[in-house]
Structure 1
Amino acid sequence: MCEEGGLRFGSLPEPLRLSLGFVGACSPFFLGVLKKDPSLVSVLRSLGERGCRVYDPDDALRKCVGEAADRDALARALRQWRNREMAIIAWQDISGQLGIDEVLARISHTAEAAIRAALSWLFEDTCRRWGVPRRSDGSAQNLVVLGMGKLGGRELNFSSDVDLIFAYLEDGELSDRNATTYAEFYTRLARALVQVLDAVTEDGFVFRVDLRLRPFGDSGPLVVSFDSCERYYQAQARDWERYAMVKVRAVGGDPEDGAEFERFFQPFVYRRYLDYRVFGELRSLKGKIVAELRRKDRGDNIKLGPGGIREIEFIGQAFQLIRGGRHVGLQDRSILVVLERAGQLGLLDREAASFLCEAYRFLRKVENRLQEYEDKQTHDLPTSPERRELLAYSMGFDCWDGFGDELERIRRRVHGIFSEVIAEPSPQVTAEPMLDGSEAELALALAGFGGAADAMADALVKFRASAPIRRLGTGAMGELHRVIGKLLAELGHLGAADAAAILPRVLRLLESIAGRGVYFSLLAENPAALSQLVKLAAASPWIMRLISSAPILLDELLDPRTLYSPLTREALAREADILVGSLAPEDEEQLMLRLRQFKAAHQLRIAAADIMKVIPVMVVSDYLTDLAEVMIERALRLAWRATAARHGVPPVETGASPDFPGFGVIAYGKLGGIELGYGSDLDLVFLYDGVASDAVTDGPRPVSAAEFYARVIQRLVSLLTTEMLGGALYEVDLRLRPSGSSGLLVSKVDAYENYQLQRAWTWERQALVRARFVAGDPQVGARFDAIRRAVLCTERDSRQVRLDILAMREKMRESLMDRRPGVFDLKQGVGGIADIEFIVQFGVLVSAAKHCEITRWTDTVRLLESLLTIHFLTPEQADRLRRAYCDYRGEVHRLALQEMPALASSSEFTEHRMAVQAAWKHIIETPAP
């Protein structure tokens, strides 16, 4: 017969007998619980044999708490239940039946269950004594227990404290004779809960409770109301408290009230902008950690020592605090999830992220083995040879040396990664930018700016005297000094003339963002971002204005790999869906703002790649068009959802799209022709089909189908055109719909078809050449494509078409062309872009009846190729027109980025203009014989 500490295991199956002996040797705590409660062996036997939990801890907890007659009995029952449950967890952990992730989650669940059960019992008991606190609707209102730290993250270690905050939602008074306030009631309840959980009795404790993270710490009230909590965190909370709130989670009390508190803390922790102001705070915190590491007694501490658990947690939470507002995936309480997502987002090297996850699991496993030994909160490695060998054995190593070598390897690498995160800034440039005029001039001259020093000094002096800069606080001013010093160093690599031109542009940007000093920190902390900013400032005032209107775009400068790599249509759609899905549907203003930021960020990428000639001009338009279509579809989804919630949706034919049944968005002009520029507006027409005009919607406020679609359009246009911080998403032009501005906002497809075939003017059919379906129900899109093809492929009198086109072109020149001497209007000038487009549209209108295949495309370049294929154009004409069109478009893009009109000198593009004029005269002005 085998005996262990007075227990007899001889009748047990050999695997269980061996595991009990192994775990008992590694954990005297486990052995002690087993001695007090031998019946636990049968539970362990069932668990081992069946691989399932025949013992339900929550059910056992409810039963023992329900039988408690008074608070002493409650305390005793909770401790006995807790010891039994923790012994089971220790056995499953040490014997290898559970992975460390599940062990931590089980311990956290045990603490949470104990808190909930104790609070429920004590709330009823306190209500019997003092009365019931009620909300304004009359329902009983319990205390809310907020779990912080590892409890909030469901990562509690074996002998951990639980960090708690006690709060309640609505204030008031009880109906007793003393008019007891809710604050008094909940304070009594909270004290009783702490006593039941924390006090050490002959049965031990349930969980140690730490309340120091509450507002005002130890000097603050034990319990806070929602209102006082809100006031504190909005006005008085210290910066480090954001760090503490990363894992906050309601673990007891009313679930709805708890969710309300969680929603309140979310924006406090995760700022909507990239929060580089937290760098100083994190660097200070890191400094404290480093100082702690230098203590001689920390070398063998696997939590606080070098390469320990706290360093890994700091790495993950630094990314959360800085970038969690932008990357919703980082807003997770689990450090492992955060590290994995930091790797996926490229914020942390993927291999390093994977290593940190495994290192964290290893260290937490060591931590549990240390604490499972005697159920003591320790993180120090043992010093005695016997304990060391036992720890190594419990970790699966044959000896201490093997375990120690692996632990040292892991800790050394963790500490190396930790040292690189929030590193100390490089020494500041010694040039002091905020001097008076003469000294600034001297400083700049000494820095090598030569003849440009005077102008640059003047720019700096004016900048320093501007109202936004004068209002800066000490901290922001210090960061600005760092930025200016590094900016001057960056400009020192350029010629004096270039530096003199660039400095005022960057200073205007800095002045525009002075109210948000966090961006000074971003530029001060990231020399590479400042370097990219200087490059873009040199190339494009438009980009600088874009960034000034949306300073959050400065984040895009951090990684040149993404800055100069615009996304494909599919990737844009995925990112936009993640963005929209991360925000509350009812928060329309925030959705509109974030869509504008999304568009601006991707416009910046396109413009940066364009300026650096990473992508050709035609691809620039493709990217801008893709971006516009993605924005239209997301805005349409929001408009549809809001309108359908109010009115329901119209009945449509079977087979319609489930997203936007019976509705389609048609793009004309540059969007239809896949030729958008940086400032292009959107020419849109809206159609509906598959529903009777007199049909009504199925919602609480039914309207006709036509009215429903009109309201969707009004909402869509509002979402796109509303001026917000950073401007409108797009300007929208609806004048190309049938009958123009006097026509209906939305046309039934049959009516649209009849109009195009019977009543449309030649210029409207010209516009149809570049029209295409871009969003909505694909069935409506297919119907539109058929109508467009039928209209364009109709036989026409080429002489009449020629006369109409000549008249329209002359009208446009008269009203739109810049006629100043020495100027060539790239768009409307003779031999310019519009002439090429009119040649193409004429070719389609007079040729498609015999060659309907040429209507497949809507963009000018591919239409030129199609007209060559059918011999409408000669190879020389097609080539010259294509090269002229691309060069003109490239120049228009370049001028737009310089915020200059689409004008060139009359001495430029002479060959192109002559070629276009020759084609125009031969094709348009000279009738075929």
Structure 2
Amino acid sequence: MSSLTRTLITLGFSDLEKSERFLGFRELAGLDQGDLLTALKSANDPDLAVQSLVRLLSAVPAAYGKLTATDAETGSEVPNEALFRLLGASEALAEFLIRHPEHIDVLDTPTSPEPAAVPGAVLRASMLAAVGADPASGMPAAAVSGTEARIALRTQYRRHLAELAIRDLCAASPQDVMPLVGAELADLAAAALEAALAVARTEVSDHFPARDVAAVKLSVIGMGKCGARELNYISDVDVMYVIEAADAGPDDAGGLDEAHAVTVGSALASAVSQTIYAPEREPGLWEVDANLRPEGKDGPLVRTLESFLQYYQRWAHDWEFQALLKARAIAGDLELGERFEHAVAPLIWTSSERDGFVASVQAMRRRVTANIRDSESGRQIKLGKGGLRDVEFTVQLLQLVHAKNDPSLRLRATTDAIHALMKAGYIGRTDAAKLDGAYRYLRVLEHRIQLVHMRRTHLMPTAPEQLRALARAVTGPMNLKRPSAETLLEDWGRVKRQVHALHEHIFYRPILATAAHLSAADAALTTDAARARLAALGYRDAAGAQRHIEALTAGVSRRAALQRQLLPVLLGWLADGVNPDGGLLAFRRVSEALGTSHWYLGMLRDHQAAAERLCHVLSSSRLVTDLLEVSPEATAWFGNDKELVPLAFEAQWTEIQSKMSRHPEPTEAIRLIRLIRQREILRIAIADCSGLLSQDQVSAALSDADRAAVLGALLVAESDVQAGGQALTRVLVVAMGRQGGREIGYGSDADVLFVHRPVAGADEAEAQAQAQAIVAKLMSMLTQPVRPAIMAERVLSIDADLRPEGKSGPLVRSLEAYREYYARWSSAWEAQALLRALPLAGSDELAVDFLEMVNPVRYPAVLGETELREIKRIKARMESERLPRGADPARHVKLGRGGLSDVEWLVQLWQLQNAHSEPSLRTTQTVAALHGAHALGLVDGEDASVLEAAWRLAGKIRNANVIWTGKSSDVLPSARGDLEAVARWCGYEPGQATAFEEDYLGLTRRARAVFERLFYG
């Protein structure tokens, strides 16, 4: 291998044999090879650069004078960066210089790491001057026509194109200057169309009277990328033509009639296209595509403004309004074009209100992807998944949905629109930065690929040498690393995946369809519109709701902007709840508590399910709203179902132990324990409100939270009481009642027994005193206020009234004292109460011994007639004495007819009579015991189903009362609003409160009949 070959490999040459041959051509013989190779190193494609250089020097000797340039800083001669970068990037523009050596001075174009744009007015004047037209004229007409005009126009266009390409290729960052390049390409195309129209006026005057041609105003409306000022190097230029007879009017008989104006206008439009693209010695520039006009190819080439408006108002498809988003007057009569823009703007920005608009835009994007050829699907930069269309459709849909009420979004260029969407909060900052960066990257890829041969293509090349050249072209001249084909494909793949993920996440937001259906007035949240809509939605205090809206949306902050975007939709979701006024107030409080938390605003914007769930809960649950006001950060759980899975007891206990180890001081330790319980109640309630938990799961989760709190409190109490002294006893907390059955609700107390056993050698009296102190401390710590106070806490009340001798008996007894009491003095109701005894916290050994002691008591071998009569007597007495004064027995879900008490006492009677011999009945849970009784034939299937249904519905109503009001109640509400809330919680549709009430009363009547027949029969 020769040293030259090794050097060429180092410099990035691919076709070594061919490039060595070109380097030996006589055109390069007089040049210093080292300096030449150094200069070629700066080219994206050194092979192409050296080949084009030889051809240029051969055809244009003056190009020798362009090989070097004077360095502005040092004054020394250096390789002409413009020459080598252009030759290494575009064979087509090298061919242009060979065809037109008179334009070799284009290589003197000043370069800069941060180039400035050439003003559109300068380009327009230059293009008109090229065809001999006066730029200052209102209707410039060319001095030349035919072949001469076409060649002059196309040559001048390509000169400007070469100047722009040089500034682009020499920029430090291609991505940074991409918007500038796209804008100048669009301005250059507009200038070319202006010059072509000047030629058309001259040529058409050969077929129509000059007066008629002068009487027709024609405006060229740029569409697509040209209208948006983000054009490619080579692309069809989408246009529409608007005409107007200059002198036409109702009182002017001399004006052109519309039909003749259309004829003249069509001739002008056709001539424009011919001048730009018809075959000629100087190749055409690009196709002038007018197929986005109404009716496409089947529609007239030109229309009056009135004709356009009639079509858009009556027959236009959804996609046509999306296309109009980019419409801009670019040439011809700009005053007429601006009137077109203003006339169609209201149609564009209200188009999303059309039925199925969002779905139709989404379907169109899917059709574009589906129609890609299989052979191109993996190479598409523009149309494929993760391509330019994904970015453009995403941005345009957001604009069309939200810009009807937010003028800041009414922008044409994609990069400008992304920034506006981010600034107004419609896209998160991170997502916007990713979209913007990806779009610029993909457009630079597209530009560099098209520059080579100046052909309209959006496909990634496959040849390794082309990929290597493209990799260098994308990174810019300041990049010190030599990128490879592999890194290019890896980067492109990463960008595609990122774009597609963002597209799927944003473009298919369900909230878009909801927001689109709102009228501009509804979305505006102005006082009159908002109050009318609030009243229609069902808000009772529209004025108060309006104050909340104003507080949420006032100002220019990002949060206020996002709230203005979201509230029109959220108001409807809040109104779906029972109390929209309360829900809106709660939403305001949560929003103010969370301030500008980016995750909160992002959740509301990006996760419809979470936002809708939050609104439903806020307008349906005082319990959750009170707890959220204290712990607003828990709002994040609405957006993540995993966060709404209740923590198991073991996980809570691990967390409590960790807190206690770091915070051993009793007051702080118990505060943290209570906070953990409070947090878990909130988690459970949100999951419950969201339909993620069954009734049994709710009870079990609440029981776990109480168990963890009691165990933590017990350890803190023991540590505090025994501090500095000796542990004289071990304490056990035994759950009783619904707590023992793990069937508690949100308003349940903790029914418990306290048991202790002195340690070996301890004095019994001292051990009893210590146990008493521990229990008193435990109860105090769980119920008394702590410093700092836990606001809105659901305090765990400890109820030890089920202990032997009730309130008159000692609060805590030793295991032996319990044993003696139950052996000598216990009554039937105490044995019945023990059916639900379940160790909750404390010594595991003591728990085992306690159960061994109570099992013979609660599962007696025989339930005598005396005990049976006593149980029935107590139940009857309880119904007459414990029911609150004035309470309707039919509506009291606990003690009323067919309520919780009826079912539980009947099941417990079966347990007392049969559990000694039937292990399936040895359970603390009501439903499990009921199922066991049915399996044993103690109750038939129909009766068992009625009992279970009544018991479960009564439990749901108790929970619903707490969820709805934040307060415990055992009564089925009679007030319509409260009954409606409870009915919805129990699964009934809105407006079905009466049906729910009738169902409950009917079910409990049947349950009471079963109870009376089986309990008293």
User: Normalised by the size of structure 2, how large is the TM-score?
Assistant: 0.44
Report the structure number with the largest CA radius of gyration. Answer: 2
